Structure formats: structure tokens, C-alpha cells
Amino acid sequence: MPLRLKSLELQGYKTFASRTVFEFASGITAIVGPNGSGKSNIADSLRWVLGEQSYTLLRGKKTEDMIFSGSEHRARSGLAQATITFDNSEQWLPVDFSEVALSRTAHRDGHNDYLINSQHVRLREMNELLAQAGLSERTYTILGQGLVDASLALKADDRRRLFEEAAGVGLYRSRRDDALKRLENTERNLERVLDIMAELEPRIRSLERQAKRAIDFGRAQADMKQTLREWYGFHWHRSQRDLTDVRETLRGQESRVRDARVVHEKTQQEYSIFRERLSGLRAQLNGWHRQAAELHSQREGISRELAVLEERRRSLTNTQASVLSDQENTKNELHLANERYGDVEQDAARIQIEYEEAKSQLANVQNELQSRQSERASLEEQIELTRNEIESLSQQRAENHARLDVLRSRLQTQIEKINQTKEAIAKGEALSAKAREQYEVIRKERENSALILQEAEEKVVNQKNEFEVIDRQRRESLEQRSKAESDHSRIKAQLEVIEQSEQSLAGFAEGARYLLDAARQSKLTGARGALSAALDVPAELEIAIAAALGDTLDAVLLDADQLEEALSLLESDGAGRAALLPLDDRNNLSLNNPKDDDCLGVASDLVRSPDELSGAVRLMLGQTLIARDRNSARRLIRDLPIHARVVTLRGEVFRGDGLVIAGKTASSSALSRPRRKREFESALSEVVARIAESNDLVERSSNQLADAQRELAQSDTDAREARVRLGEIQETEQQAGLESESTQRQLEWQKNQLTQLEAEVQESVSIQQKIIESQAEVENRSADVLAKSKEIAGKFTEVSTDELQEQSSYWNTRVAVVEQSMASTNAKKEERVKEIMRLDARRVELISRLQDADNSLNGLDNEKTRLRENETGLHGQIEEMRVLIEPAEKDLETAEQEEKRLQDSEVNSQRIFANTERSYGQVQLEQMRKQEALDNLHQKITDDFGLVMFEYADDVSGPVPLPLDGMVEQLPVVTELAPEIEEQLTHHRAQLRRMGPINPDAKTEYDQESERYLLEAGRSRVG
């Protein structure tokens, strides 16, 4: 099988995020892995790259499911790609490449690309290529999970598809289905056309009716239009005339209104001017009144202020007196405070001096104390050091003591152990020697048993051999017996066959058989049987004798007197022919033996027969010579009489009269039967003897075999016993060996232990020595250190600090006391200063207050004089005002009378104006009505005629259409309307109303539908 699919490369496909390449084997490629590892995705990818479009088979829903979707540790892929590479060196794919790579790429937007050898192709091209190669159209190319089961579970009809694919007829089937579908489509189309036609027919009929009515209607309408034109022409011009008249009237009214408005406006203006003047007068008068009132109120305010000023001046004089007395008091207090401050100052100076002194004393004492203390500290340090040393030394000593104790006890135990070990060694040596002896004894015993076993086994082997020999002998004799037995049965069977054929007279002529049967049934007496049965012929002469006898071979021997009876029997029963040989005492002569080498003799001499038959034999064979071959026969016959015969060994008969009979005779078996019977019988007896002999032999060897078996069993038991015994002994030996070895090992271990212990003791002793030495050293050093410590302690007591400390504390208290009194003095001083400052401030304040009071008094006086001046000024002004107001009030009265008159004339002119305006409005309304009537008429005309070229009067304007030919109607100018026109119009209108609603498009619709009907009819014929 050549390699076809070389490799598969995946990138971003489902779980295969990285680029993955599979190289396939030419035979079987196996893919293994646990569930969920993505095995089946390989099958899917192959299906996919081969152009599969069903996402259910690909175990997904959409293109995006083919792309690696990412995980916690890995970003999703942007596209999925699968590429399969086929080996095409044998050109099984119909392209000129030795290698074909098919590839499919899917993008996240659902877009798929197909490539063959990196060339973009369409899906259809890819499918065609694969179909030609037998890859795409085989459901069983890729068997997904459970698909094998599905192929069975498929319904019987679906299963057919597999076979069609295998047969490669899927293509035909799809084409067939296409054809059927197309046929069906056509039929459906035809049906639809017929439906449409059936639907169209009634509609066309109704449309035809409608069209006819529409035409009638159009005609009536045209008639009416003609009449209308005239009617409209008259009315149009009349309306225009009416409108012009009304407009004229309107213009007259308009000028009247204008005049009335001018008169009215003039009166109105006069009246308003006068009113303005009047209101100016009133305003002036009012202003003067207001001024006078203001001046009065000002005068009152000033007198109030004057009273207040007087009061304030009184209170200020009082304050001034009280401040002066306060100032005196304050001055006295200040003097007192200054004196007290001086006292306090003196106290403070004294205390300061005391403090200085105490401080210097304290410093001295403290210095001294410090030096003393440092001295003491250094001594203390020394004491500490020595004490530590003493302690460490005593610790060392104690340690040494402890170690010494440990060593001593260890030494003791070690010595004890040594003694014990020594004893153990002595004991172990004795044990070991004993074990070895025992082992030796057992070993010898084992050797003996092994010898015994060997002998027993040898015996067994010998006996087995013997047994086998006997067995073989027995088997041989058994074989012989069975062979003899089979010989026996074979011979017996042959004998039976011969006897049977003798019984059934096989090979005898029919007549002879009949006669012999009759003889057996005692129907014929004196029959002696057949000639052949009576003769005993040597085997080599059988053929020759049978040939010589010919048909007379089965001649029935009869007593001579019975011949007639036999003949009549034959005759009466219509049996076949038979040769009959009556026995009589005729002495037949036989030929002389010619004494020739090639002549075996006269036939009658060569066969043996019972004596009573010798005559018959001579009769039958006495004239017959038996020759070796044809030549000698021919030679012999020449010298013989005419009735003689020569027979060769092959059965050729040469008669004296020249007749030669040759060829195979039917059977010489009848002749050989007695001889063969005899032979078989003798063989049978021989075989029986052989069987008996074999039986004897078998029995004998069986007995021998049983004996041998018994012996063998005995020996076997012996050997087994010997083996068991040997096993036991071996076990004991092994045990003894183990024991001896273990005692030896123990001994060894004890010895090792001893040497080890001795070494340990030595080590311990040396360590002990070392410790004792170090102990002595420690003792010396501790004595030294003790002496030193005593010395230092003495020094320490000498250096005392108590006195100094007392002094220092005394001075310290003193300093503190002085500091306290200093602080209290300082506080007192501060208090005094504060008091002085307060009194000072008070004094200053009083002075300023006095000054303020003086200033205010002066200000008040000035204010008073100013106010008095103001008061007199105001009084003068008030007088002036009164002089102005009085004449003005008289003026106002006359003006008000004039105003009343003017108002009356204005009302009059207004009434006239309103009247004129109302009549103008009426005319305007009339004009609008006329205009509207004209517009209505215009509308009606355009409704009926469409675009119309209107003729307008000079003062009427309206839209003028472009003079398009045929589209624009012209209205006739009619001044007088014929009376019948009105009547005609009414008639036409009634006619049109009777016709009712009309479909104006009925004609076109009818034309369209009938055209469509014809088209469908045509299609139905085509379909």
C-alpha cells in the first residue's frame, strides 16, 4: 500500500492552539490519549479540511467554534488552519503535482478560505478534486465516535446510501433527484399559470363592460362641455362687469371717508392741545403748594433741633465737673503705688545675692562628689570582674569534679563489661567448638544418606529400563496378535466369499445352475455336482484347463441312468442350456505324453480328481496337451490326431482340425475355487495357531510386567524415603551450620567488643588524668583571684561619699528656697507695675474726656446760631410763595370752562366720521362678494375645462396660462344667452348623473389585463 496521506498540520484548530504536525504511516497510525485531550478533534479536522459544511458533524455550531477559544493561561486564536498533505507521485489525484497540500482556514468573522498548494480556490473546485479521487463522497472515510453504531442503526433505506457511495453512483442519484425536482417545478408552474388564467377571465369581462360605459360617458361629457362653454362665456363676462360697477361705487365712498377723517382729526388735535395747557397749569399750581408745605415742615424741624441742643449742653456741663474730681483722686493713688514699688525692688536685689552664693557652693560640692563617685565606680567594676572570675573558676572546678565522677563510674562499668565479655568469649569458644563437632557429625550422616539415595535411584532407573524392555516386548506381541487377528478375519472373510459364491453357483451357466439347484432340492437324484468343483487344478494351469474345458467347465456330472430325467427337467421348466456329463464305466483312452520339453503333459494327468470321476476327466481332458507357448503348441498339434487339442498356458486352444480359440475366458474362478478354499483354510488354521502363540506371549510378558511394576514401586518408595531422610538431614545440617556460624559470629563480636572496651578504658584514663591536671591549675588561679578581690574590697570601703552627699543636698535645698522667694518677689513687683500703669491710663483717659466735653460744648453753641439763621430764611420764603399761588388759582377756573366747550365739538365730529366709515365697509363687502362670485366661476370653469385662456376686463387680473396649443381652452364672448342653453345644460347633467360612477381607467386596465391573459395562455402552452 503506497503512502497516500503524508501529514496533517493544525494551527489554532479547536484545542490545537500551537502548530502541530502529524506524520502518518503508510499502514496504521494510532492516536491515543485520555478523554478530553483532543483526539477526536484530529478526526474532525480531517473531515473539516475535506470541505465538511455540517457543523453538527464537526461538533460545533458555527465557524467560530472551530477556532481555539483561549484559556486562563493562553489567549484565543484569531484563525484556525488545517492542512493535509497527500503524496501524489502516483497521480491518483488528478493534478500535476507530486505532492498536494489541501488547506482550510477559518476566520473569526465566519469567513473560510480553501487552498490547494497555497493557491486560493473555491469550495466547489476542492470538492470536485476530492470527488474524482473518491475522498469526499464516502461516508465511511471518516468514522466518528458512535458512527459505526449509526451505520447499523441507520434505517434500511439510509443504509442503501453507503452502498451507493461504494458503487460510486451517488453522483447519478443526485442528478436523478435534480431531474425529478425540475420536472416537479415545471408542473407546479403550469398549475399556477392555469390558476392565473382562470382568475383573469371574469375580470376581463367586467373590465370590458366598464370600458364601454366609460366611452359613453366621455361622449356625453363632451356634449355638455360644448354647452357649458357658451354658458360660462356669458356668465364670465357678466360677472366681470358687475365687479367693475361695484368697484366704482367703492372708490366714491372712499373719498367721502377721507374727508370726514380730516375734519375729525383737526377737532381732536385742538382739544388735546388745550388739555395739555390745562394740565400744565394744574401741575404748576400743585408744585407751588408742595413747596410751601415743605418749607413749613423744615421750619418745624429746626425748632425741634434747637430744643435738643439745649438739653445736651446741660448734661455736658455736669459731666465736666465729675471728671475733674476723679482726676484729683487718681493722682493721689498713683503716688502711693510708686512708693510701694520702690520697697519691692530692694527686696528683690537682696534675694538675688543670696541665690548667687548658694549656687556657687552647690557647684563646688557637686564637682567633688562626682570625682568621688567615678573612683568608686571603677573599684566596683574591678570587684565585679574578680567576682566573675571566681565564679567561673568555681564552676570549672565543679564541672571537673562532675566529669571526674562520670569518668570514674564509666571506667568501673567498662571494666565490668570487659570481665563479662571475657567470660562470654570463653563460653562462646566452647559452644562454637561443640557446634562445629555436631555439624561435622551431621555432615557425615548426610553424606551417608546421599549415598543411600543414589543407590536407590540407580536401582529405580535400572528397574525402569527393565520395565520398559518388558513393556516393549509385550507391546510387540500385542501388535503381532492384533495383526494375526486382522489376518484371521481377512482370510475368514475371503473364505466366506468363496463359500458363498460356491453356494450361489456363481459363474455357472444358467442351465447348469438350474440342475444343481434341483439336485440340492432333491428334485434330481444322481447329480454329482459340477465338473469344475470336482477338479483340483494347480494354479499355473488354471487358465489352460479352463480354456481346454470351455463350455463344459460347468458340466453337471450325472449318473448315466439319470440323464433322461435331467433332460426332461430342463425341457419341462424351460431353463437355459447346460452341459451334462453322464458318468459311465467307459474307459476313455488318453493321449501319450509326447515327451517334449515344451509340453507339460496330458491335461488329464495334470489334474487331480476323485477316482470315480477319472473316466470323465479322461473323456474331457485326455485328448488335450498343455504346451508352454503358442509356437510349441503349433508344433505339437501337427503330430496329433484330428480330435486332439493343445492348450497354451495363456489359454489359447489349438485344435487338431486347425481351429484356434483364443482370448480371455469369462472366468476360471469356478475352477480355482476349491483350490483357493483349501489354501485359505490352511492359512486360517496357521493364523489361529499364531494368535494362540501370541496370546501366550502376551500373558507371559504381562505377568513379567506386573512383577517389574511392583518392584519398581517398591524401589520408588525406597528412593522417596531416602530422599525425605536426606532432606531432613540436610535441614538439620543447615541448622547446625547456621548455629555454628552464629556462635562463631557471636564470638567474633564479643572479641571486637573486648578490644573496643579496652581502648575506651585507656581513653577514659587519659581523660581523667587531663582533668585532674586542669583541676590543680584551677585551684591555684582561684586562690590568686581571691587575694586580689580582698584587696579591692578594702580600697572600696576607704572611698566614702556620704558627707559630700549630705552637703550637696543641703545646698540644693537652699538654692531651691532662695529661688522660691525670688519668684514671689518678682511676682509682687510685677503686680505693682501693673497697678501704676492702670492708674496712669485712667488719668490720661480722664484728661481726654474733659477735653471732649469742652469741644462738644463749643460745637453745640455754633450749631445753635446756624439753626436760628435758617429759621428766619425759611419764614421769608413762605411769604413769597403765598403771593404766587393766589392769582394762579383764578386762571385755572376759567380754563376749565373752555375745556368743556372743546370736548363737545370733538364728540360731534367723531360721530360723523363713524357714519361715513360704516357705509364704506358695506360697499367693500359688496365688492368682495362680487370678486368671490367671479373666482367661483373661474374655479368651476377650470374644473370643467382645465387650462383656459381667460379674457379679463381692464381692471380685473388673474393667472394667464401659457398659450399651449390644444391644451388651453378659449371662452367665447357671449353677450346674450340663448334661453335653450340653460335647458340643454340641465338635460346633460341629468344624463351624466344617471350614468353613475364611472371608472375612467377601465379602458387601459382592460387592455393590460387582456394582454396578460394572452401572455399566460402562451406560457401555458409553452410549459
Q: Which helix (H) or strand (E) holds 626?
A: strand 624-627
CB of 110: closest distance to other proteins in angstroms?
23
Report helix angle 170-504 to 802-945, nearest 10: 100
Q: Which helix (H) or strand (E) holds 105?
A: strand 99-107
CB of 9: closest distance to other proteins in angstroms?
11
CB of 735: closest distance to other proteins in angstroms?
46
> What is the signed CA dihedral for 59, 62, 63, 64, rounded to 10 degrees?
-100
Pick the closest to residue 895 from 332, 283, 267, 28 (CA basis).
283
| Residue 186 or 500 having the CB closest to other proteins | 186
CB of 687: closest distance to other proteins in angstroms?
50
Angle at CA of residue 976, ends 973 and 978, nearest 5°: 110
CB of 43: closest distance to other proteins in angstroms?
5
| Residue 65 or 476 having the CB closest to other proteins | 65
| Residue 74 or 643 having the CB closest to other proteins | 74
| Residue 7 or 665 having the CB closest to other proteins | 7
| Residue 24 or 796 having the CB closest to other proteins | 24
Residue type, position 24, single letter: F
* Residue indicated by cell numbers 377721507: 258
| Residue 183 or 837 having the CB closest to other proteins | 183
Task: Please tell me the distance from the alpha carbon of residue 539 to that of residue 554, in angstroms, as a whole number.
Answer: 18
| Residue 30 or 990 having the CB closest to other proteins | 30
Identify whether the C-beta of residue 881 lies closer than 8 Å to the C-beta of residue 291.
yes
CB of 218: closest distance to other proteins in angstroms?
43
Pick the closest to residue 645 from 663, 665, 627 (CA basis).
627
CB of 161: closest distance to other proteins in angstroms?
10
Task: Please tell me the distance from the alpha carbon of residue 102 to that of residue 126, in angstroms, as a whole number.
Answer: 8
CB of 124: closest distance to other proteins in angstroms?
21
Report helix angle 170-504 to 156-167, nearest 10: 90
Task: Please tell me the distance from the alpha carbon of residue 889 to that of residue 782, in angstroms, as a whole number.
Answer: 148
Decide the pairing of beta strands 5-11 and 79-87: antiparallel
CB of 80: closest distance to other proteins in angstroms?
13
First to last CA, the chain: 55
CB of 53: closest distance to other proteins in angstroms?
18
| Residue 159 or 266 having the CB closest to other proteins | 159
| Residue 166 or 285 having the CB closest to other proteins | 166
| Residue 40 or 373 having the CB closest to other proteins | 40
Task: Please tell me the distance from the alpha carbon of residue 315 to that of residue 853, in angstroms, as a whole number.
Answer: 10
CB of 101: closest distance to other proteins in angstroms?
15
> For residue 926, what are the contacts with CB-CB under 8 A and spacing of at least 6?
246, 249, 250
CB of 501: closest distance to other proteins in angstroms?
52
Phi-psi region of 216 (alpha: psi -120 to 50; beta: other; left: phi over 0): alpha
Instruction: Decide: helix, strand or coil at residue 530.
Output: strand
| Residue 149 or 561 having the CB closest to other proteins | 149
CB of 148: closest distance to other proteins in angstroms?
4
Pick the closest to residue 999 from 212, 225, 222, 219 (CA basis).
212
> For residue 17, what are the contacts with CB-CB under 8 A and spacing of at least 6?
68, 74, 77
> What is the signed CA dihedral for 447, 448, 451, 453, rounded to 10 degrees?
-100
CB of 40: closest distance to other proteins in angstroms?
5
* Residue indicated by cell numbers 470336482: 534
Identify whether the C-beta of residue 939 lies closer than 8 Å to the C-beta of residue 959.
no
CB of 113: closest distance to other proteins in angstroms?
23
CB of 69: closest distance to other proteins in angstroms?
9
| Residue 176 or 790 having the CB closest to other proteins | 176
Strands (E), 465-597: 527-530, 556-559, 580-583
Half-sphere exposure of 407 (CA within 13 A, CB side): 19
| Residue 148 or 841 having the CB closest to other proteins | 148
What are the C-alpha distances in Å from 106 to residues 56, 62, 125, 378?
17, 10, 18, 95
Long-range contacts at 836-840 (CB < 8 A, ≥ 24 apart): 836/334, 836/337, 836/338, 836/341, 839/330, 839/333, 839/334, 839/337, 840/334
| Residue 178 or 681 having the CB closest to other proteins | 178
Instruction: Decide: helix, strand or coil at residue 908.
Output: helix
CB of 664: closest distance to other proteins in angstroms?
56
CB of 42: closest distance to other proteins in angstroms?
7
> For residue 814, what are the contacts with CB-CB under 8 A and spacing of at least 6?
358, 361, 362
> For residue 26, what are the contacts with CB-CB under 8 A and spacing of at least 6?
1, 2, 3
| Residue 187 or 551 having the CB closest to other proteins | 187
Per the structure block, which three cell numbers stand in for 848? 481726654
| Residue 140 or 952 having the CB closest to other proteins | 140
Pick the closest to residue 260 from 915, 921, 925, 924 (CA basis).
915
| Residue 163 or 952 having the CB closest to other proteins | 163
| Residue 46 or 747 having the CB closest to other proteins | 46
Angle at CA of residue 725, ends 721 and 729, nearest 5°: 170
What are the C-alpha distances in Å from 756 to residues 392, 415, 417, 760, 761?
36, 12, 11, 6, 9
